[in-house]
Amino acid sequence: MAVTFSDLHTESGLKALDAFLSGKSYISGSQLNKDDVKVYTSVQKPSADLYPNASKWYEAVAAKLATGFPGKAVGVQIGGKAPVAAVEAQEEAAADDDDLDLFGDETEEEKKAAEAREAAKAPAKKKESGKSSVLMDIKPWDDETDMKKLEEAVRSVEMPGLLWGASKLVAVGYGIKKLQIMLTIVDDLVSVDTMIEEQLTVEPLNEYIQSCDIVAFNKI
């Protein structure tokens, strides 16, 4: 049903508009449409103190319209009152122009542009953590320690960011050999010192492992 506003340039007209907009965001519907534009072109900026509802609506419409005209405005003031014929011509053009829908649903291109703007505001993706190559010496208790089981025990340690590599047995003396093994780690995920203290040299692995030493530690 059509809504009629009269004498919007007068105090009584603004009071009627302010009362109508109580509890409403727009003239009709829940989004800005041609009804709002039509009333907007017919009213001067209402006083926020005298007409709070109309003032809030006016500012919202002005902000929406501003986004449709990206050029930088320097600001103008118009004295006097526009001829009635000119106002009526503007209103008829807004009512009849069904092909121009500045405030309809977003197109796919507009949605993608909005998503791109939001993505640009988001924090930059955290740089991928670096990796390191580590060489370790793992020593048994004595010459009777089963070195095959010792290596199996070492490789049984698994965690995100840890990759065991090549290994070999190196003679130490008195018939004792140590296991020398390579591993690659993701720096932010694996602490070699913690792995030694909390996994390699505690039960049940310490049945085979006496001690572990970091021989080399190189960033990749």
To the nearest whole percent, how much of the chain has pLDDT over 70? 77
Tell whether the model's pLDDT for residue 124 goes beyond 70: no
Confidence of residue 66 (pLDDT cuts 50, 70, 90): confident
**The dihedral sign for the CA sequence 133, 137, 140, 146:** positive
| Distance set, CA 32 to CA 19, 40, 191 (Å) | 19, 11, 58
Q: How far apart are CA 104 and CA 55, in angstroms?
A: 24
Q: How confident is the model at residue 102 (pLDDT cuts 50, 70, 90)?
A: very low
Cβ-contact 53, 22 below 8 angstroms: yes
Map tokens 């965690």 to a residue.
159
- Mean pLDDT along residues 98-114: 61
pLDDT tops 50 at residue 87? no
| pLDDT averaged over every residue in the chain | 81
pLDDT band at 69 (very low <50, low <70, confident <90, very high): low
Least Cα distance to 55 among 106, 17, 86 occurs for: 17
HEC secondary structure over 85-127: HHHHHHHHHHHHCCCCCCCCCCCHHHHHHHHHHHHHHCCCCCC
Residue 71 pLDDT more than 80?
A: no
Contact indicator for 140, 173 with CB cutoff of 8 Å: no
Q: For position 183, what pLDDT does the model report?
A: 96
pLDDT of amino acid 82: 46
25-34 long-range CB contacts below 8 Å, 24 or more apart? 25/57, 25/60, 26/57, 26/60, 27/3, 27/57, 28/3, 31/103, 32/60, 32/61, 32/64, 32/103, 33/103, 34/94, 34/95
Phi, psi of 136 (to 5 degrees): -120, 145
The residue type found at 198 is: E
The whole-model pTM stands at 0.42
